[in-house]
Amino acid sequence: MVVKQRSLNELRQEKEFGYKHPVTKNKPINVDSKHIIELMKKYPNDADLGKQVRSYLIQLGIYE
C-alpha cells in the first residue's frame, strides 16, 4: 500500500499534528484577603505593594 506524501499545509490542518498543551492541576489557594487589603493601604506604590504581596505568597508556599 502506498502512503501519500502530505504537504506542510495538509499536516497543519490535522488535529493530531502540532503542539499539545501539558496537563496541569490547579491547587486551591488560601489567601487572606484582609491581609492583602491591609497591604494595599500600607503600600500605595504598586512596586512596593507587589514586593510585599510576592513575599506573602512565598511565605504561604504558593509562589517560589
- List pLDDT tens digits, range 11-58: 777 666 567 777 777 777 788 889 999 999 999 999 999 999 999 988
Separation of CA 37 from chain center: 23
Separation of CA 18 from chain center: 21
| pTM (predicted TM-score) | 0.53
The one-letter amino acid at 60: L
pLDDT for the residue 8: 82
Domain boundaries, the chain: 26-64
Our CA angle for 48, 54, 58, nearest 5°, is 145
